[in-house]
Amino acid sequence: IVLAGIETHVCVYQTAVELIRRGHEVHVVSDAVSSRTPDNKAVGLGLMHDAGASITSVETVLFELLKDAGSENFKGILKIVK
């Protein structure tokens, strides 16, 4: 499950921990979450990592989902993220 949202240290954190508790693999997109302060965001990301979530980025998720670098979709996404 790929997570994005606001209040990294509260809403996203609680969602991630519950999903992990239920046995899901959780990927938190670090550049698609936010908190009112950078410290709160960092705390939330750290707690989720410690709980077993993978911390990733939008670009990483996009290319992981596309898999094949030879596809037209890959080339289209490449134009957007570069």
Per-residue pLDDT of 30-41, as tens digits, reads 999 999 999 999
CA angle 16, 36, 43 (to 5 degrees): 45
**What is the rounded average pLDDT for all residues in the chain?**
93
Q: What is the pLDDT of residue 26?
A: 99
Q: What is the pLDDT of residue 18?
A: 99
Residues 6 or more apart in contact with residue 70 via CB below 8 angstroms: none
CA angle 23, 27, 25 (to 5 degrees): 20
Of the candidates 52, 67, 73, the residue with the CA atom closest to the CA atom of residue 3: 52
On whether the CB atoms of residues 77 and 65 are closer than 8 A, the answer is no
pTM of the predicted structure, to 2 decimals: 0.87
| Domains in the chain, CATH or no CATH each | 2-81 (3.40.50.850)
On whether the CB atoms of residues 52 and 25 are closer than 8 A, the answer is no
* 71 pLDDT tier (thresholds 50, 70, 90): confident
